[in-house]
Structure 1
Amino acid sequence: PLVMVTVTNNSGGGQPVSMANLRAVRAVCDRYGIPFFLDACRFAENAYFIKIREEGYADRTPTEIAQEMFSLVDGATFSAKKDGLANIGGFLAMNNAEVALRCRNLLILTEGFPTYGGLAGYDLEAIATGLEEVLDEDYLRYRIRSTQYLADKAHAAGVPIVRPAGGHAVYIDAAAMLAHIPALQYPAQALGVELYRTGGVRGVEIGSVMFGAIGADGAEIPAAMELVRLAIPRRTYTQSHIDYVAEVVIDVARRADSIHGYRIVEQAPQLRHFTARFEPLGH
């Protein structure tokens, strides 16, 4: 067993984790002898939020803050497609040499030799460069502000969103926008479909399709939140692109009452949200 903390919290509105929180988790793990890992794919954005929000860190660089974050944990998982600024790849890091050896042996069987892990050389170079560039303070300031810009436009138009905005995405509260759709008719999925049909804006459901559970009686239990994540690609969109996304979101919100729910017609036994097929209701 281990404790995993995701920075930033992707399923909870992209919110950051404070250094004080990380230290408190470290203390609990030490008390019970449990390893502490970070899901660190957005570590740089989290470090920048600590810098601008947490007392005592305003004069620290994002690099220094990130180093302190990693010093508190026993290991980390990392998808380089996020704060690695790369197209593919990632890594698993840990302090325990014995566990690392077991992981390397498994890597050879499943991905490739430990020196490349199944990745091409240019992908490894992209990750190495990305890990440096992602901690540039000017980049992080622009990145966070771009997300905030979309959030501000949506909020000003009355679109219910998770506030304050996270670092990598704006999260629309589909349960609030589509209050007429029951949770088990998947309002977040319905909103995601409508955004794509209307303007080609591709978001992702973070609701009962992804996190719904099956109770002891076999009935489905809805998730606590019904969100649609609009993740913003790094170094890709201009302000005009973000303006277009906002226009589509606002247009859909204005006719929210006309949107109907969906039912699942095909699903996998695990991780159904990746491959499930749906059928619209009420059309």
Structure 2
Amino acid sequence: MRAYRAKVVEPISLPDREERVANLEKAGYNVFNLDSDDVFIDLLTDSGTGTMSQDQWAAMMRGDEAYAGSDSFERLRESVADVMGFKNVVPAHQGRGAENVLYGVLVSKGDYVPNNTHFDTTRAHVVNNGGDPIDCPTDAAEDDPFKGNLDPEKVRELADDVGAENVPALVVTVTNNSMAGQPVSVENVREARDVADELDATFVIDACRFAENAYFVQQREEEFAESSVAAIAREQLSYADAIVMSGKKDALSNIGGFVGVCDGNLFERAKQRGILFEGFSTYGGLAGRDLEAMAVGLREAVTQEYIESRVEQVRELGDLLRDVGVPIYTPTGGHAVYVDAEAYLPEIPREQFPGQVLVGELYREGGVRAVELGEFAFPDEDRPQLARLCLPRRSYFRDHLEHVAETFEKVSARRGELAGLEVVEEPPMKELRHFSARLEPVA
């Protein structure tokens, strides 16, 4: 049962089809280039797009705008310590700012950084600091409840090949966004901790969706069946030396992020880099009201009522899509439904971006904006060709989800008419091309 009622509303409207067709062409067939006013149902990302609670809005009114020694930062620090277990906190303007702070002090030229699966900005930050990001996902069986896990043996094999001294950090992302939002077990995090100790590497958890992951652990990992989501989150994060966090996900805020660190020496190094790139260490590029919103949101994220309704709404969308014959990755993840674009559009080869074709057609037929996570977003990598439908937190209702399913039915009716796409303009850094590249239909 939903645990909310609407107290503020935002009008949205569906542009007519001719306008949508023109918008898509103007955007270079890249939905990142669309104006938000031209989108009816926006499932591009869950990052900073959710609805904040009345308690968050109330807390924002007491935001302390001090440059140094901010009371608002102290309340955030207390929340991070209570909810996540880290007393040393470096604030940042968002998650990729936190990545820049931490990986900038951990990664150097010639290093290798294994991860269960790197997402786009994480991969780019490792590359930008001279490192080589290496994906080490588990080869999960169909019935594996934790398909997001890291494969410890792949990390050991990497260290044997390149030398343990060249592996300064080991990262586990929870949930595993690049692998269809699948969760990571506490047992797997413990195994990752052991491998990090063997390699004398810093063990980092990318904790953007830590609360969603903890809910899956509660539902699927027998050891924690009777534990609260809050207790599971603390346990899972306790094995890490450091965390990077986007407050725009499981801190339920519209902006913000931070690094949490155990070791005092690493904390000081991260703190100094944070001052250089993000701002003084008690504001990190944020207004006091943003710090307050994260402080409250972290506590709300680990309540059973919130997290259960969050994950169940994603499952509800997945069920609606399966009912109309859409091939989705199952079980559904915690923040999004992932469509198998190759299975949905089998006549379009992966080098012509079936996921991006599908994303464009969803906008053309129903004003729905999703995102491709396949060959376009991750060029030259052997990954599934996925289209992600990412639900903003506490924002949409059943009617919106039904519209998405109806849009898929319209796209399905036209599948035989669809052509592939080719890139005609892209930035120099391929790891980030999907944010701004332009495409056109293959002749």
Normalising by the smaller structure, the TM-score range is over 0.9
For residues 216 and 383 of structure 2, the distance between their equivalents in structure 1, rounded to whole angstroms, comes to 25
Q: What amino acid is the match of 1:132? A: R
Cα distance in 2 for residues equivalent to 1:280 and 1:125: 46
TM-score when normalising by structure 1: 0.94
1:237 alignment partner in structure 2? 396
Match of residue 259, structure 2, among 87, 92, 95: 92
In structure 2, what is the equivalent of residue 255 of structure 1? 414
Corresponding residue for residue 425 of structure 2: 266
**Structure 1: unaligned runs, 5 residues or longer:** 214-221
SS of match in other structure, 1:81: coil
Please give the secondary structure, in 2, of the residue aligned with 1:65.
helix
1:74 and 1:84, CA in 2 relative to 1: closer, same or farther beyond 3 A? same
Correspondence list, 1:147-158, <5 A: 147-158=314-325
**Structure 1 residue 253: Cα displacement:** 2.6
* Preserved CA contact (<8 Å) 1:168 1:232: yes
Counterpart position of 1:219: none
* Structure 1 residue 29, shift from structure 2 partner: 1.1
Aligned to 2:227: 60
Deviation string, structure 1 residues 167-220 (Cα, Å, up to 9, x no partner): 10000110111110011111111111111111111111100011112xxxxxxx
Give SS of 1:128's match: helix
Aligned residue type for 1:256 = R
Partner of 2:181, secondary structure, is coil
1:216 equivalent in structure 2? none
Q: Work out the CA distance in 1 between the residues paired with 2:295 and 2:318.
A: 31
Maintained 8 Å contact 1:203/1:228? yes
Q: Matched residue of 1:140: which SS?
A: helix
Contact 1:205 1:229 in 2 (8 A): yes
CA distance in 1, matches of 2:379, 2:277: 30
2:250–2:301 Cα contact (<8 Å) kept:
yes
Structure 1 residue ranges, 4+ long, deviating more than 4 angstroms after superposition: none
Alignment of 1:1-283 (within 5 A): 1-213=168-380, 223-270=382-429, 271-282=432-443
SS of the residue aligned with 2:223?
A: coil
Q: CA deviation at 1:148?
A: 0.4
Q: Does the Cα contact within 8 Å between 1:154 and 1:250 map onto a contact in 2?
A: no
1:255: how far off?
A: 2.3
Taking the aligned partners of 1:8 and 1:21, their CA distance within structure 2 comes to: 12
Determine the C-alpha separation between the residues in 1 that align with 2:276 and 2:196.
31
Task: Please give the TM-score of this superposition, normalised by the length of structure 2.
Answer: 0.61
Q: What is the distance in 1 between the residues matched to 2:192 and 2:222?
A: 19
Displacement, 1:254? 3.3
Secondary structure of residue in 2 paired with 1:211: coil
Structure 2: unaligned runs, 5 residues or longer: 1-167
TM-align CA RMSD: 1.1
Residue 7 (structure 1) shift: 0.4
Higher relative contact order (CA 8 A, sep 6+): 2
How far the C-alpha of 1:249 sits from its partner, in A, is 2.1
Q: Deviations over 1:45-82 (max 9, x none)?
A: 00000001111211100110000011111110000110
C-alpha separation in 1, matches of 2:416 and 2:248: 36
